[in-house]
Structure 1
């Protein structure tokens, strides 16, 4: 949109001039409307005037040009002209003060902002031996604590600089405060902060405390308040976060989160945590420790928090750095959100690891001034910068020839594009527009990644540029074969996103899971060193994610010469008449029609209840109200749809702005939009902010009441359950212990445990019990997820075992007497010197006809997942030449988690595997027994594999 050259009267007040600019914008957006309503100070910029986020970005540029001021980035979130006027007057007031403070006599040349163009001290090597992010940070602190790491831009033209040492000192203050507040290793701490020094310090502080950061984004606009808080409440509940670190402004409404996150205990600011009063020492996590919960875009009713360990993050960072030839001489310039994996891991954590200076601005600043990103690349001689496709589009919309004249982008060697479908046309226009600024076309780089791989999966080598693959459209739609097609009229073009990173593999499979050859489209699966073990506290989705040792991405595409080409999301593909219909291509084409808001189109399928056919539905946002014009738009949509997919849409809905739902990163939420379509809520706008806040407050009060009642019920049940457990133990002591034979004692304990589980609502289901060789000695191994595991196994197995228990339990006489009578073997945990003695004790038990029962993980954690197995059980079985019987316990963790003492009723499945017979008595055979037993338990337990090592 070009600025009008029409002159305005100079005697207009600022308010009148502002409204005139807004009215001019509205007329440009709706040129066919003969008499658009003149805006008032209370008009809604979106609903009344039709100004979307892109139009408001342009509006801010015009206001700044007209008034010769720089508006703060928060102005982009203004909902009315009145709010814009307040921002304008504030900006003019600051400018006037600055002019008054300037020396009126001495004129000085403009001094450019300080930049890191002066060479920094060289960095030799990288923290290759570091097993955690904390250790990588320590590596840099030992060598160059004063090296600048972060250049953080706010509203000012000068950045706030943080060195490694400054960042670490702030982080250790946060860590000490969190530990003093009761945060323990492995606890989740939510982080709801904008891009600022506080974010980086708080994130590092959570890591220093040994806790797990859970980044979520703060509400940006009041109109989105309800949706933001509801989504966050579900995420906070899923993550089990009891602490939320946020900004003071958000604290006023953050208490409403407790409506959906009743367990959230503490809401604090960075300033409160950095009061300097706490001195607790930092914790030291391990490589296998959980380092991050990354919630995927659009996590709503069933949040999916990707679990990433320190080792997995470092593996992905190292693979990306190797492929991109990253060095400390690079400079990364980013506006990417820090709650998103691309901004957090690819931009910041990778830069931290490689000692790359990171120049960062907020997403809000980018949306309000897109070209500022390019200006910072010039100012800091940036070499790496990237964005989803829409970011490149924003820059093109904001670019003016006069602004590009002095821009120098010759230092930019990697301009990656990912996180959403890459448009070849966008890259082509971007390269063409910025070629005069020194941008090399070879720097443009489409990439492919996903949170389940940490961030990066397929990345090309630098300097290759954009490679397109033209395939026959009809053949591809009907057979899935990506047959090369030179004729542009018959071709469909896909972007080459490069080969897998070093150490990673990608394959394409059909619906039956069979591997497809190259140039055949199917579901994309991957494996690699950073592949997540699953979704936190979501066993069902974790099971869906895994396909053997491969992970399902949910994306579709094909391989050609080893490079990945994306065709769409599996769940978004529609099948009609034997043809695959890909929403993205159709959405992009419809978004280019006159009267349709670009980037605000959703195409999805809707099953017809009578015919069973999946109907093709198009939902498109528009500002047009005139009936004839809307009919014309509908006809154009039908025509374009027929041209692209050879069939007309079954239903076309033209809806007001903001009806098509999007994720925080700007992706179309087709599933959520489809749900609104089916429920008849599509054309309904959002409720006023006051109504949302009132509704949330009432719902919060109701939830608190329900939570209070629920907690009371939980405590009553817990008291009842522990009373039953206590009675059961007393009965065992009275009825079982006096019996002369261990088999008799165990049989009595079995019936008592079975009765106790029934009385407490714990339903146990045994699978494969007939496989257990109860007439011969064996070594039983089971995963350990709860304090109730021994009770559950005792209730399931009518045969006697010799459990291994920690030696501390043998100290009290009563405990020692009871456990010894039940055949328990006491062992020293974590004592290498006692390992051989323990093995001999187990061997003696086996020779006497007993069957030892091991929990080879040694202990358990509150988080779901099967840990590494200790070798003792398997060495003993190999030496004694008796079978190992793997037993998977599924469901006990939710009944009573670690560090909790409130049990819950529920169902537990105990799956007995086939006995594993040892073939020899050597170490390698013990390793085989361990690996096979562990593989069975991981597969049947329903929990992710947290094992960090394999022999």
Structure 2
């Protein structure tokens, strides 16, 4: 839809609503609207049933989108408008063909044919009496919630339509003054990015990696990828030069798994990012914000379905290699809304965050949650917080922040780095939910933080330990909205031996403190299973599984990991814990469990206890189990980072580490290693990478100093070059074949082109075209098998061909299979090049603009005239093709043409052409194709219902046949199929 035409509808809507006082009535979609709205919805639902549209009638409302939700093409809209005019007793303008939603149709119906001349009163009379409805108040939270949004783009558009100039983000780019970003500014920047990506060649459902720090470029880039129809993949920028090589190797794995087509990053990272292109074959280009500076924002029509992928959230890799969690728009919105209910979001809330936007808690929980609930979002970079943690608290004070979240280490860092002098004038009384998650929550940290900041007005019940994971989007369990932390004290020895969480007084010297992480979010369920998969009672530790509306469908392009994730409809969290009084208590990660002497030991307590020792770097202690080949069991290894270099003091420190670990574990570790700073590997979110650290320890490389930056770059470049050479060698046979095929085409096509332009008779031209195609196929070693040629109607009988669309080669396959001239229906874009248009016109091709909805009825008349002349029409009802398998929705042109002319419809299934030349890569590959022709289908009459029946019968024939791989041709099929 052009902007001019869209504005015509908007202007018409505005005039009518101003005259009638309708306000936002068209957005409700409820049955309580005025009589014209109810009648319109009744007609629309009847039409949907007649058309076989897979939508429950109750789900069709005024917000339903005619194309994205109901799949109506221009001819379907024409039929619907005719029914509306009959049913509502009014005449709709031509702009009704461009209406985006049922609400738009209602507005135009109310305007009527006399709206422009006679004003709102005439519009009211044209389609029945309309009752004026007061506008919705914007004072409450409900008025600020896009409750009808089905996607993240719907959510942004909802705010953009209602309050574009309202500030959405307060972005701290400097320490003292935030930069306000309005909804309009966010949308405008996103539109520029979307235009730039489309111009660079991005196609729908392709992935784009965002390697950007917190800033306007990230916010606009994320929605720009969505607006362009792509899938954003957030990854973190390199932090330290000494870990550059490992950083790029991990990112190369992520980008290769995601199949990323583009990488958007900062100019400073271009050199580093370009190294990734040698490692990632799919990566087309590395872009920066400057790449989009000159792009003109355009209204791209990306309308993703709720189940479409909205985001690939790669797991942190704290216990293994990162995996891409597939999250749909429906997943994200379900989880965000459930978390909003759990914290009881209010109209006066404000979310303050320094969390990185490449992490699920910062991206989904903080930013997208704020967008969904229309509350202000105050954002600062993680580096700003780490440099001076008091900035986080000051931002909460300044903006009267009510909601914020952070991992446990952030609260601990505030305790350590915020000085008493910084507390002067600091008012935290507004902070009602201080969420603590993303890593093990320390009971000691909770107690000390509450006590320290009580003097600043921090409410006693503000601290809220929570639990979540990327596989659930982000949140899974939250405490009640007004409750503070709950700490369970259990018998440490009994728990280690039997897994029973027996409560004991917290003063008991053998007590182990476990923090409660709340109860399942609304709509979610938890269960604890033993090692045999049997449910365990309360206060018995086992493996934690969950169900819920945002549970991921799996890991992107990783079926093996997906199979290990989902079991009998339940998702494995990879965590252990127990339930008590419906509260979840986490005890550790499955992979971190250390079994020693028949006792289950978790590393968290000992790591935290050793980290408190003077001389040990807090948060830089790791414990893990390693195989002991001599004893045939596991040995416990404890590694602690220290800056201490003096041998005598290091010996004393090692002794204190041993004593503290023995106190916590009940037995001493088998090995203690004091390592220099930055030896222990961590994820982008600060979690300990125990598995990777164990691998480096086992290889004897843990204490090795990292190589110089230049050496890392040289080594990466050499490895990338080697990988590129290997890929080229593997692709060489295919490239040689593609070159050979194009050489054949270049030799044959010019002679066929000249023949088409000079031979006087149409039938002769088609014989020459078939001869050229046959010669090309045979020289390129591409067999074509045709099944059902005897079903083609006899000469002189006009008919309509409806075929699936897999590749640019489909036309050649149909021409070779059906021995008669065919008037193919082609997209208007092909007519722009005279060298293409002239021969196609000489072969009878009819050009249509499927994006110009006003041309639909005119094109239908052209089709009818061609059939009346006895010609054969060739349609690809999908309108286009995709690289992925599966049929797209069928447009109605072919079926209305057959029904209107009373001629048979010939369904044809083509397979194998996608494998011969995939998508728009124009790189042919060896193989063969199959064309299977069905029985002609005669229409029962000229009605719309008859055309819908033709569509359904054709699809029923094509669908099961087009997705059989072309290689699955049995000897019997080869004997029975005629080779063209």
In the alignment, structure 1 residue 225 sits paired with structure 2 residue 244: yes
In structure 2, distance between residues paired with 1:196 and 1:701: 33
Structure 1 residue aligned with 2:500, among 481, 502, 525?
A: 481
* Residues 603-622 of structure 1 mapped to structure 2, 5 A cutoff: 603-622=623-642
SS across alignment from 1:567: strand
Structure 2 residue aligned with 1:586, among 606, 615, 630?
A: 606
**738 and 403 in structure 1: CA distance in 2 versus 1, 3 angstrom threshold:** closer
In the alignment, structure 1 residue 520 sits paired with structure 2 residue 519: no
Map of 2:694 onto structure 1: 674
159-168 or 811-820, which deviates more: 811-820
- 1:364-417 Cα deviation digits (max 9, x unpaired): 000111101100100000000111011111111122112102100000000000
**426 and 729 in structure 1: CA distance in 2 versus 1, 3 angstrom threshold:** same
Deviation at 1:210, TM superposition (A): 1.3
Structure 2 residue aligned with 1:704, among 705, 719, 724?
A: 724
In structure 2, distance between residues paired with 1:336 and 1:606: 34
Structure 1 residue aligned with 2:394, among 371, 375, 379?
A: 375
**558 and 607 in structure 1: CA distance in 2 versus 1, 3 angstrom threshold:** same
In structure 1, distance between residues paired with 2:227 and 2:627: 50
In structure 2, distance between residues paired with 1:537 and 1:904: 23
User: Is the contact made by 1:245 and 1:268 (CA closer than 8 Å) also made in structure 2?
Assistant: yes
**605 and 282 in structure 1: CA distance in 2 versus 1, 3 angstrom threshold:** same
Deviation at 1:525, TM superposition (A): 0.8
- 1:281-314 Cα deviation digits (max 9, x unpaired): 2422111111101111138984311110111100
SS across alignment from 1:525: strand
Map of 1:690 onto structure 2: 710
In the alignment, structure 1 residue 345 sits paired with structure 2 residue 364: yes
User: Is the contact made by 1:259 and 1:696 (CA closer than 8 Å) also made in structure 2?
Assistant: no
Unaligned runs of 5+ in 1: 1-118, 743-803, 821-829, 831-856, 871-891, 907-929, 938-951
Map of 1:309 onto structure 2: 328
Deviation at 1:653, TM superposition (A): 1.3
In the alignment, structure 1 residue 665 sits paired with structure 2 residue 682: no
Map of 1:576 onto structure 2: 596
* Residues 720-739 of structure 1 mapped to structure 2, 5 A cutoff: none
Map of 2:231 onto structure 1: 212
Map of 1:255 onto structure 2: 274
* Residues 39-78 of structure 1 mapped to structure 2, 5 A cutoff: none
**631 and 177 in structure 1: CA distance in 2 versus 1, 3 angstrom threshold:** same
Map of 2:212 onto structure 1: 193
Map of 1:455 onto structure 2: 474
In the alignment, structure 1 residue 555 sits paired with structure 2 residue 569: no
Map of 1:17 onto structure 2: none
**726 and 578 in structure 1: CA distance in 2 versus 1, 3 angstrom threshold:** farther
In structure 1, distance between residues paired with 2:739 and 2:498: 62
- 1:728-749 Cα deviation digits (max 9, x unpaired): 9989768x8699999xxxxxxx
User: Is the contact made by 2:319 and 2:591 (CA closer than 8 Å) also made in structure 1?
Assistant: no
Map of 2:417 onto structure 1: 398
**144 and 277 in structure 1: CA distance in 2 versus 1, 3 angstrom threshold:** closer
- 1:701-725 Cα deviation digits (max 9, x unpaired): 3333333333324434778999999
**333 and 904 in structure 1: CA distance in 2 versus 1, 3 angstrom threshold:** farther
**905 and 454 in structure 1: CA distance in 2 versus 1, 3 angstrom threshold:** farther
Map of 1:827 onto structure 2: none
SS across alignment from 1:605: strand
SS across alignment from 1:128: coil
Map of 1:806 onto structure 2: 804
User: Is the contact made by 2:279 and 2:724 (CA closer than 8 Å) also made in structure 1?
Assistant: no
**421 and 893 in structure 1: CA distance in 2 versus 1, 3 angstrom threshold:** farther
Map of 1:298 onto structure 2: 317
User: Is the contact made by 1:175 and 1:282 (CA closer than 8 Å) also made in structure 2?
Assistant: no
Deviation at 1:222, TM superposition (A): 2.1
**807 and 137 in structure 1: CA distance in 2 versus 1, 3 angstrom threshold:** closer
**676 and 606 in structure 1: CA distance in 2 versus 1, 3 angstrom threshold:** same
Unaligned runs of 5+ in 2: 1-136, 745-773, 793-801, 820-849, 851-877, 891-912, 928-955, 964-980
Map of 1:179 onto structure 2: 198
Deviation at 1:148, TM superposition (A): 0.8
SS across alignment from 1:442: coil
User: Is the contact made by 2:806 and 2:882 (CA closer than 8 Å) also made in structure 1?
Assistant: no
Map of 1:815 onto structure 2: 814
Deviation at 1:894, TM superposition (A): 11
Deviation at 1:625, TM superposition (A): 2.3
User: Is the contact made by 1:298 and 1:664 (CA closer than 8 Å) also made in structure 2?
Assistant: no
SS across alignment from 1:267: strand
SS across alignment from 1:597: coil
Map of 1:15 onto structure 2: none
SS across alignment from 2:325: strand
608-617 or 562-571, which deviates more: 608-617
Map of 1:48 onto structure 2: none
Deviation at 1:861, TM superposition (A): 6.7
In structure 1, distance between residues paired with 2:741 and 2:503: 67
SS across alignment from 1:409: coil
SS across alignment from 1:620: strand
517-526 or 807-816, which deviates more: 807-816
In structure 1, distance between residues paired with 2:463 and 2:173: 27
TM-align CA RMSD: 3.8
Structure 2 residue aligned with 1:496, among 473, 492, 516?
A: 516
